Structure 1
Amino acid sequence: MAIDDLIKNAKEALPNVTPTPPDLKTQSSVHDLKSRLEWGEPALTILDVRPRELFNDSHIMGAMDFPLNELVALAKNSLESGRDIYIYGANEQETSQAAALLREAGFRAVAELKGGLAEWKAIGGSTEGAVDGSQEPGEHAYNVVSQVKHHKDTQKLNFK
């Protein structure tokens, strides 16, 4: 067997271990969302369905304010039905209700963000809002290396 054939066979036998961002799941963890954002994936939308006052105080950076009572109308007017949507509310029940409303309205790729804003903050996810802007950043807020290491240590890596 020629050396080129040996190399080709060896490459084919090796598993593809290129890390990829996690696929959209009906129930997604904050780690799934953070991985996709860190991957630089632009084709997703984050919706916060909590009351507007809570959104104004604090929300996931880049999330859109779509209060539950206006959710379907706002979504139909501004989002493609096939777009990946991560949604969170004030609690798991509100999140599930919002996701169900979007699915009933024809949105096919809706993920309920488990743990919502509280879990997002617990893993050091970026937030914005009136309350967040008035608080001093934590001791590791600007240490990107420790934030990425913490994220890597606390998530399950998705290799394909």
Structure 2
Amino acid sequence: MNNPLGGIIPDQPPTDPQSNVHELKSRLEWGEPAFTILDIRDRNTYNEGHIMGAMSMPMEELVDRAQSSLATSRDVYIYGETDEQTSQAAQQLRSSGFEHVSELKGGLPAWKAVGGPTEGILESRTPAGADDYNVVSRMQNHAETQQK
């Protein structure tokens, strides 16, 4: 059951095989439940910086760790070093029974380009932009980008 709050929060549309960072950011900003973000890069790279809230599941451990910790019906957004690596990892998850896997196109660089929240050793040393906490400005930027 992906929506434990029944009719309070509308059901989400099916997860697309590929997503852009705007779609994920929108889900996070609206507080939508029941999805997981997986970072498949190596542990050191993950520790340097990653999407806030993403779980580290390096490529070589991905399927085993995902099967032991996630329901196969859960919405999963996945990203790696490159879109090619992300696509390979997504295919591994789909082949092992995961039903709702979406490849996050552009990965961490695309996420940072739209002002998505990050965390990690290097990220903590980078000050937030002036408009990072201005929700109105971010929503206007998001709407303009969606129109392009």
Normalised by the shorter chain, which TM-score bucket? 0.7 to 0.9
1:29 matches 2:20: yes
2:73 to 79, 82, 85: 82
Matches within 5 A, 1:14-53: 23-53=14-44
Task: Quote the Cα distance in structure 2 between the aligned partners of 1:109 and 1:143.
Answer: 32
Q: Secondary structure at the match of 1:95?
A: helix
Q: Answer whether contact 1:86 1:112 (CA < 8 A) is retained.
A: yes
% same residue: 55
Q: Answer whether contact 2:112 2:118 (CA < 8 A) is retained.
A: yes
Q: Answer whether contact 1:22 1:32 (CA < 8 A) is retained.
A: no
Query: How high is the TM-score relative to the length of structure 2?
Result: 0.87
Task: Quote the Cα distance in structure 1 between the aligned partners of 2:108 and 2:83.
Answer: 11
- The alpha carbon displacement at 1:139 in A equals 2.3
After superposition, the C-alpha distances for 1:7-65 in whole angstroms (9 at most, x for unaligned) are xxxxxxxxxxxxx9664100111111111112211110000000111110111111000
- The alpha carbon displacement at 1:94 in A equals 0.6
Any stretches of 5+ residues in structure 2 without a counterpart? Answer: 1-10
Q: Answer whether contact 2:80 2:86 (CA < 8 A) is retained.
A: yes
After superposition, the C-alpha distances for 1:42-96 in whole angstroms (9 at most, x for unaligned) are 1100000001111101111110000000000100110000000000000011100
1:102 matches 2:93: yes
Q: Which has the larger radius of gyration?
A: 1
1:143 matches 2:108: no
RMSD: 1.7
Any stretches of 5+ residues in structure 1 without a counterpart? Answer: 1-19
